[in-house]
Amino acid sequence: MKFVIAVSSGTDDPTRATLGMMAAKVAREQGHEVTVWLQGEAVVIANRHVYDKIQGINMPAMKSVVEALLAENVPFWVCEACGKGRNVTPDNWVATATYKTMGDYVAAVAAADKTLSF
């Protein structure tokens, strides 16, 4: 199945952010095609200088979750407006990050089998 997993929390709610990223990791481990859509504060997860400092309550380290997704080449779609507003740019992206627009996200959701939002 094709999943789009939208995450809107980052350093502002580390537990919720980690839950969304864990859902992406588990979906990928189960063999599904996964795209992670990062919007709002969640765009900081795509910043290689920030994601390893996010730690949710009683959650695995964000570092291990993100690195597992990167090892599987899971795309991290960074909301362009949100990313530019938070200085998340190609200069500090993780390897699979790219800017995308709301139009890209809506098209991906329309084509997906399942969507999850955190």
Question: What structural domains and CATH numbers belong to the chain?
Answer: 16-100 (3.40.1260.10)
Per-residue pLDDT at 113: 96
Backbone angles phi, psi at 5, to 5 degrees: -115, 115
Per-residue pLDDT at 60: 97
Per-residue pLDDT at 28: 98
pLDDT tens-digit readout, 61-88: 999 999 999 999 999 999 999 999 999 9
Per-residue pLDDT at 72: 98
Q: For residue 44, name the pLDDT band (cuts at 50, 70, 90).
A: very high
CA Rg value for the chain: 13
- With a CB cutoff of 8 Å and minimum separation 6, the contacts of 25 are 65, 68, 69
Per-residue pLDDT at 116: 97
